[in-house]
Structures are given as C-alpha cells and as structure tokens.
Structure 1
Amino acid sequence: MNSVQIRSAERALSVGTWLIVAGAMLYSVLTVTPLMAAHTPPAWVWTAPILPVVVDAAVVIVVRLDSILARLGGHGGRWSVALRWMTGGMTLALNVADSALKKDLVGVAVHAVAPLLLIVTAETSLAYRRAITTAVTELETRRQAETERREQVAREREEARLRQVREEREHAAVMAREQREHEAALARETAERAERERREEREHQAAREVAERVERERREQVREQREQEREHAERIRERREREREHEAARQAEADRREREEAARREHAALLDGPPVNTKVDEDRARRIVAAAVAEGVSVRRAADLCGWSVGWVSARFAELRDPGTGGAELSIATG
C-alpha cells in the first residue's frame, strides 16, 4: 500500500466516523429531550435539550482527541478510555431510559441501536487509525532503507570504477616502461622515432588523466547536488511537522477554553435566579451547591437558590472542598 492509498483510507475512515457520530448525536438529542422535559419542572422545561447536547459534545471531544493521538502515534491513557466508555454508557442509558421505564423491550432495542453503533464506531475507528499510523511508519522505514541501499550500491560502483582506473593506469605504466626498455635495445637509427612515440604516449596519458579528473569533478558535483536536495527535503519535512504540532496544540487550547466557557455558562444559569420557597430535586440542588463553591457564592445564597436547609448545604460545601473527594466534585459539577 502506497501513501496515496493510506491517505484515501484515512479520509474514508474520518468521513464515515463523523457521519455516524453526527447521526447518533441528532438521534440522541431528539430521543432524550422529551424524557428530560418530562422530568424537569415546567419553569425549566426549556433546559431539556442541554443534557443530551452536553453528553454528545463529550462524545465528539473524545472521538476528535483520540483520532489526533492515534495519528501521532500516542495514547490518552486510562482516563481517556474511561471517558470514552462513560460517555458511551451515558448516551446508551439516556436513549433507552424512556422505553425502559415504560417496560417497552422493543423500544429499548430500537433506541439502543444508535448509541451502541456510536460506541463500537469510536473503538473501531481508534483501532483503524492506530493501524494506519503503523502502516505509515513502516512505509517510511522501507523508503529510508531503500534510499540507503541505493546509496550503498552507488558507493560500491564508484569504488569499483576507481579501482579499475587505478589498475588501468598501473598497467599503462608497466607497458610504457617495457616499451622504453625495448626501444633502448634498438639501434640508434630508430632513436628519433622512439622518442616521438614516447612523446605521443605521454600526451595521450595526460589527456586521459585530464578527462578522468573532469569526470571525477562532475560526479562530485552531482553527489553534492543530491545531498543538498536531500537536506532541503528534510528541512521541509521538519517544518511541516512543527506546523502540525503547533496546530494540534492550538486546537487543544481552543477545546479547553470552550469547556471552561461552557462550565461558566452552566454555573451562571444555576446561580442566576431568585430564591425559591420549595426544595428543588436533590440532583439540581447538588449542582447548584457545586456551582456556588466554584464561583465563591455564600452558603446562605446557595440555600436560597435550592430551597434546602443551610445545614445540608454546608455539609455539601464541606464535601466539595475536601481534597479527598475531588472525583465526586467533578461528577457533581458536570452532571
């Protein structure tokens, strides 16, 4: 498989994954919103779509970050796996809850299709991306090995050529020496002709050496030019790698800011309201207390907003401020 085929497979995987994620999110919002509206006070029924949107947004974040880490050959660790399965489980539970409460087994099976498909797609796409990354790495390794092999063959050919030239030169020197010894034994009347032949032989030898020197210089220039081209290609690759890393860091920072902004909006929605005369449900009361702790709101103000006693609210404040219950604080704040 070449690089074009790998890129095509990766593009098809990405498009298919996001189509499934988008369809499952839309189906989940349409399915869960009536359930949330039925279990929300009439004054707050407009908040019914918030929970399915938040859960599905977490699914999108997990799928996106896992795809980036898989492309870079990394792994998010146990927390990434836990978040992926937790969001999938939440989506499944919310989708089948209405049918389960009505004891409608057919409805449970029908509404479980989209979340189960989403969970399996997330796991499968992660495995596919890791396999694609491995294939790309192996392809680059083979290309590098082929380049080194070709360079080795070129060096061996150059050494053989130089060895042949040296042998030819030595052979020519031997022949010239034998010729001179033979000519010395000839009669003096052939001295002039022998001298002329020697001069022609020296001129021929010099011309051949000049030609060989020119050829060596040309080969050296070609080798230097290829080396410069290889270095240039390596610099381009490194620059592109740095650009990809910078883009990944920028995207992560944008995601973090978006999560912080969503948390602040949720806290403002929970804390921005008049005091109530009756107790709100315990789940909402706990989220109001968590928002109050995060925003520095007093115990009295939190008690007025949720309708629960000051003692109960104080106890929740103590639980949230205890460093040993940090996981519970995160669960309550995002519930």
Structure 2
Amino acid sequence: MNDVQIRSAERALSVGMWLIVFGAMLYSVLTVTPLMAAHTPNAWDWTAPILPLVVDAAVVIVVRLDSALARLGGRGGRWPIVLRWMTGGMTLALNVGDSALLKDMVGVAVHGVAPLLLIVTAETGLAYRRAIAAAVTALEARQRDEREAARKAAAERVEAADRRAREQRDHEAQVAREQREHEARLAREQAEREERARREEREHAEARERQERAERERREQEREQQQREHERREREAAERREHERRQRIERERRERQERTERAERDRAALLAAGPATEKQPEERARATARAAFEAGLPVRTAAELTGWSTGWVSSRYQELRDNPTPAPRALEGVAP
C-alpha cells in the first residue's frame, strides 16, 4: 500500500467516524430532550436540550483530539480514556433513561444502539488511526532506506568510473614507456608499434565516445522520467484540489438548505400553535410576529397568536417593514 492509498483510507475512516458521531449526537438530542423536559420545571423547559448538547460536545472533543494524537503517534494518558468512557456512559444512560423508567426493555435496546455504536466506533477509530500512523511511519522509513540505497549505488558507480579512468591512464602510460624502450628497434617494428598504438587510441576514443553517448542518453531518460513524474504529481494534486472544492461547495449548499428548512419549520410551528391563551414571552412573541408578518397574516391574527395587543403587533410589523432583515439565528430554535 502506497502513501496515497493510506491517506485515502484515513480520509474514509475520518468521514465515516464523523458521520456516526453527528448521527448519534442528533439522535441523542432528539431522544434525551423529552426526558429532560419531563424532569425540568415548566418555566425552564427551554433548557432541556442543553444537557445532551454538552455531553455530545464532550464526545466531539474526545474524538477530535484522539484523532489528532493518533495522527501524530502520541497518547493522551489515562484521562482521555476516562473522559471517553464517561461521556459514552452518560450518553448511553441519557438515551435509555426514559425507556428504563417506563420499564420498556425494547425501548432500552433500541435507544441503546446509537450510544453503544458511538462508544465502540470511538475506540475502533482510535485503534485504526494508530495503526494508520504506524503504517505511514513505516512507509516513510522504507522510502528513506530506498533513497539511501540509491545514493550509495550512485556513489559506487562514480567510484567504478574513476577506477576505470585510472586504469586507462596507467595503461596509456605503460604503452608510452614501451614505445620509448623500443625506439631502437627496426623501423618495421617501430611502425608496427606505432600502428598498434594508433589503433588502440582509436578504440579507446571510440569506447569513450560510446560511453559518453550512453551517459548522455541515460541522463536524458532520467530527465524525461522526472518530468513525467512531476507532471503526474501536479495532475493528481489538481484533481485532489478540484475534488475537495466540489465537496466543500456541496457541503455549503446542504448547510444552507438545512438552515432554510429549519427556519421554515420553526415558522410553521409558531403559526400552528393557534391563538395564545396567555401573553407570550417577548422573545417568543417577537418570533411569532415575524413569522406572521412573513406569512402575510393580518395584525389582528398575529395579536391573537401572541396574546399581545394589536398596537404592539402593529409596531413590530412597522419595524419589519422599515428594516426587512432576516430573522436572527437564535430565534430559529424557539420551541412552539
């Protein structure tokens, strides 16, 4: 497995891990909020989602930091383990608490699936990330060894070429000494020696030329190979960047759509509550008045929904006409 495949596996693990975490968080909030609301004074019902959100936030912190430590090859000690199991136990207890109080064993089993899956996934993801970090370390060590082996091989080739050059110079010196020693010989023998020396020089020159030509061809092939490798890496990097850009655009589109749908649901819930039996709190009344204004309802209908006077509602309508800004995000979560 190469480095690209290892990084791809790590990304797949991270995406799957966060999908399970956020799915379990959403399910936990939806499951635990009614239990907290049932055990909270009516005036404080709006605080019911806070506890599951706090516990799930601790789960997100543990998973995120465990992921960072595993990627760096480190360990956080005992306290991260305690926090991981404590948050998992709290999530499990909160999810099955309502069914357990009602002695509904089927409900306990059903509501225990998400937190148990979250606990096991957190431990398994940590083990996988540590294994991936070890694999990446081993791959980098192997690549360093290969580069070192290539460097040594190149040094050995240079040394062999120097040794051949020295042997060639020694041989030429020996030939020259032989020529000087046989200068006194007969002209025929001297001519033969000179012819033999010229022939050897031509052969050496041809050999050197062949060697230089082969060296030039080798360097040219290496340059072409490096150029192809560089182009391939650039192409892969461009493809990765384009893929990440598309994912980011799609994620932003889904988030905008979810916010719009959530605002529409909140507005419909405020309008579907019917005429108020008593005066609503001001923040909720403002949210109801905004929803009625955006739905095009008359001032009198909005006054009936909020329990406030028509004059107060008319003032809110005028403010909305004068300053048609979108509803604050904090009002999108007002419960009906």
By how many angstroms is 1:164 displaced?
Answer: 2.3
1:188-221: CA deviations, max 9, x gaps?
A: 4532222222222222222221222222122212
Q: Would the aligned equivalents of 2:278 and 2:307 in 1 still touch at CA under 8 Å?
A: yes
Count, aligned residues? 282
How much identity, in percent, do the aligned residues show?
17
TM-score normalised by the chain length of structure 1: 0.59
How do 1:100-115 and structure 2 match up within 5 A?
A: 100=101, 102=102, 104=103, 109-110=108-109, 112-115=111-114
Alignment-derived partner of residue 325 in structure 1:
none
Does residue 333 (structure 1) correspond to residue 328 (structure 2)? The answer is no
Cα distance in 2 for residues equivalent to 1:301 and 1:154: 88
Q: Alignment RMSD, CA only?
A: 5.5
Alignment-derived partner of residue 98 in structure 2:
97
Cα distance in 2 for residues equivalent to 1:11 and 1:159: 46
Alignment-derived partner of residue 222 in structure 2:
223
5+ unaligned residues in a row in structure 1: which ranges? 39-50, 75-84, 314-327
Does residue 170 (structure 1) correspond to residue 153 (structure 2)? The answer is no
SS in 1 for 2:183: helix
Alignment-derived partner of residue 190 in structure 1:
189
By how many angstroms is 1:167 displaced?
Answer: 1.3
Alignment-derived partner of residue 304 in structure 2:
304
Letter in 1 for 2:157: E
How do 1:229-240 and structure 2 match up within 5 A?
A: 229-240=228-239
By how many angstroms is 1:174 displaced?
Answer: 1.2
TM-score normalised by the chain length of structure 2: 0.58
SS in 2 for 1:276: coil
How do 1:269-280 and structure 2 match up within 5 A?
A: 269-273=268-272, 276-279=275-278
SS in 2 for 1:184: coil
Cα distance in 2 for residues equivalent to 1:260 and 1:286: 20
Could you say if the C-alpha distance between residues 240 and 25 of structure 1 is closer, same or farther in structure 2, counting changes exceeding 3 Å? same
By how many angstroms is 1:269 displaced?
Answer: 0.8
1:41-67: CA deviations, max 9, x gaps?
A: xxxxxxxxxx99xx99xx9xx99xx89
Alignment-derived partner of residue 246 in structure 2:
247
Alignment-derived partner of residue 199 in structure 1:
198
Q: Would the aligned equivalents of 1:303 and 1:309 in 2 still touch at CA under 8 Å?
A: yes
1:272-297: CA deviations, max 9, x gaps?
A: 45850414998xx9666556569987
Alignment-derived partner of residue 208 in structure 2:
209
Cα distance in 2 for residues equivalent to 1:293 and 1:86: 39
5+ unaligned residues in a row in structure 2: which ranges? 39-47, 73-85, 314-327
Alignment-derived partner of residue 149 in structure 1:
148
Could you say if the C-alpha distance between residues 263 and 108 of structure 1 is closer, same or farther in structure 2, counting changes exceeding 3 Å? closer
Could you say if the C-alpha distance between residues 264 and 23 of structure 1 is closer, same or farther in structure 2, counting changes exceeding 3 Å? closer
Cα distance in 1 for residues equivalent to 2:308 and 2:90: 31
By how many angstroms is 1:157 displaced?
Answer: 3.0
